[in-house]
Structure 1
Amino acid sequence: MLELKLEGGRRWLSDGAVRIPIAEFGECRGRHQGSVFLLASGPSAGEFPLSRYADWPVVAMNGSIVRCADQRVTPFFYLCDDPGFVRDRPDLACLGARSASHLAMSLNCFQALHQHDPTVLPQCASVLLLERVNRQNGMAVLSDRSYAWSIRNDPDLICGFSLLHRKTNRIGFSCDMSKGYFGGRTIPYAATQLACHLGFSQVFIVGMDLSKSIGRFYETGAAALPSSLDEDFDDYILPSFRIVAEKVAPRHPLRLFNLSQGSRLPASVVPKVELTELDALLAAEMAVTDGKHLRAGA
């Protein structure tokens, strides 16, 4: 079993036979700027001309790595915090781990991936550990309400608080991934927090359709994995992105855009843009930097 070890002040993943060093999120905080694409798995991702924007960094997650492979785009980051996905679609998890410049997974995802193929992780150039806020060894340290109250003065952790409603205390946003991240019940929300942590100021989300009925672009029929989007949308997903719009964006140089015109997420929460608007926003960024654009991670 792959386990998390602390040796010489550094963290490692080890099963006794291999030692995989963990890069710390604190080392990459604020080191990037400009625009980034977050690639989710909704059907609209299958229609997006990703290769046209290959000069910008792309964060892939779960099965959206298929689009990167089809479009010959090397993802800057590959994210996964669902061990069920790794167990059910190990081929895609391995593809993401092997092709991305940086791999970020939860410990149970690393364990599932390593169990499937022990050769993958030792070959990764950069491995980071995704950890939820208020968790130690997978268990909550404080109650949701107590944790929400404890971070009320922390500028890096923006959280709801309620004495009456338990769910409110589970919803928040982390600007510092070394302190953990809030799940939001959808992986694009973790990717949004990562983008903020890295220093990107203009975030374009692709394939965030958020509809269980239309599924994912890379799977159909009986092969489709179950989804809880409908159950989680009103209670977790929508309130999480509202925190970005109402509490994060006013404090940080973070502009979030949704490239899915049919997304369930209202444009009043995350503005929706067409390709022509996307091109104009990127052109404006290039003009500010005098055309000097370097791919993140290059």
Structure 2
Amino acid sequence: MSKLHTIIRRLRLGTAYRHQLTCHPDFGLERHEDGCSVLWRGRRVGRVGLVGPLKNRYGDHCFTVATGPSLGEVDLGRLAGHDCISLNCAIRKFAEAGMRPRHCVIVDRRIFENQWECVRDSITSGANCFFSAVGLSRICEREPELLGHDNIFLIEAIGRRFGFPGVDKERFHAAYRDDPEVVLDPEHAAQARTIGFSLNADKGFFPGKTVATWAVQLACFLGYRSNYILGMDLGGTGKAHFYGDNRMRPPDFLKDYDPYIRVAFELARRAADDRGFRIFNLSAHSTLPAEIIPKISLEEALADASGAAIFSERVVQP
């Protein structure tokens, strides 16, 4: 899209719908009670599910697999038999191990634009694929036939749902500050649309500047009570991704860490303590300190997942 067309479209969308600017102008969604029809140039090209009906469909525990450099040292085969959530291009690691995850989450439009094989491989793996509206728009542009698969779900940011006007900061805080399904930090009201924790996928999730925050909220909503996160280094190793691909500029986690990522996980920990689920970080060198999300090893996580009582007691006690 040319720069002039972008300017014209920005004016047409106005402030209320500017969150749709990165979607192609020929893309659309028609919402139904049980899903969405995906429209491309006025024609229905597929149907995707909504996250809401999946509430508490799963349980016990899951391993969330992020793409930090530390993932390169992990033998993913050790997770065989466990539910896994693949983030962005972690699907490559699953393919190398001859495994497939239970779920995939891709919300970064740069993955859809620069790492297309990760999108295709996630869909064809058969995993439940949770994609943003921008991601669905890119699929329409590049390979709309992929929307014929029945394992794709629309995942959205709270206050910025496709087809609905966005909510400004003041109205957002007024709408959600007393909502029992939404956890906010009053000290960061200016960033309230980005930093928080949502217990209801129908309202949307908080972006938090990293896909891992989406995954933590999603895992809780799906019903998992323990979430073990691998490869969530957040810049702590000084490198970008385990696969070392230079086709896209790596995110600057250290720039976004404070307050976005830090506070998002502080609120996740608060929600976990209040709601009775657990989150563990398996990246020893992660920027996120153990005081916010406890750090354990893969061996300890596997023992905990198997119900080893001695480990559970040691971790849970303050």
Residue by residue over 1:208-234, the C-alpha shift from the partner in whole angstroms, topping out at 9 and shown as x without a partner, is 0000731100125x4453312121011
2 CA distance for matches of 1:282 and 1:192? 17
1:193: which partner in 2? 217
1 CA distance for matches of 2:249 and 2:83? 28
TM-score, length basis structure 1:
0.87
- TM-superposed deviation, 1:189: 0.6
- Runs of 4+ in structure 1 off by over 6 angstroms are none
Letter in 2 for 1:110: L
TM-score, length basis structure 2:
0.82
- State yes or no: 1:239 paired with 2:292: no
Letter in 2 for 1:58: C
Letter in 1 for 2:46: I
2 CA distance for matches of 1:236 and 1:192? 15
Does the 8 Å CA contact 2:280/2:295 hold for their aligned counterparts? Answer: yes
2 CA distance for matches of 1:81 and 1:270? 23
Does the 8 Å CA contact 1:35/1:200 hold for their aligned counterparts? Answer: yes
- TM-superposed deviation, 1:19: 3.7
1:75: which partner in 2? 101
Mapping 1:239-258, distance limit 5 Å:
239-245=263-269, 247-258=270-281
Letter in 2 for 1:82: D
Percentage of identical aligned residues: 26
- State yes or no: 1:13 paired with 2:38: yes
1:272: which partner in 2? 295
Letter in 1 for 2:77: S
Q: 1:58 to 1:10 in 2, by over 3 A?
A: closer
- State yes or no: 1:180 paired with 2:235: no
2 CA distance for matches of 1:81 and 1:13? 17
Does the 8 Å CA contact 1:160/1:169 hold for their aligned counterparts? Answer: no
- TM-superposed deviation, 1:39: 0.8
1 CA distance for matches of 2:256 and 2:220? 23
1 CA distance for matches of 2:72 and 2:259? 28
- State yes or no: 1:159 paired with 2:191: no
Does the 8 Å CA contact 1:159/1:169 hold for their aligned counterparts? Answer: no
2 CA distance for matches of 1:119 and 1:168? 37
- TM-superposed deviation, 1:53: 1.2
Runs of 5+ unmatched residues, structure 2: 1-25, 311-318
Q: 1:239 to 1:101 in 2, by over 3 A?
A: same
- TM-superposed deviation, 1:169: 5.9
Runs of 5+ unmatched residues, structure 1: 288-298
Does the 8 Å CA contact 1:90/1:113 hold for their aligned counterparts? Answer: no
Letter in 1 for 2:232: M
Q: 1:100 to 1:191 in 2, by over 3 A?
A: farther
- State yes or no: 1:144 paired with 2:173: no
Q: 1:103 aligns with which of 97, 122, 129?
A: 129
2 CA distance for matches of 1:156 and 1:178? 11
State the secondary structure of the residue aligned to 1:22.
strand
2:228: which partner in 1? 204
Does the 8 Å CA contact 2:159/2:193 hold for their aligned counterparts? Answer: no
State the secondary structure of the residue aligned to 2:49.
coil
Q: 1:260 to 1:237 in 2, by over 3 A?
A: same
Deviates more, 1:227-236 or 1:19-28: 19-28
State the secondary structure of the residue aligned to 2:273.
coil
1 CA distance for matches of 2:71 and 2:35? 38
State the secondary structure of the residue aligned to 1:120.
helix
Letter in 2 for 1:22: V
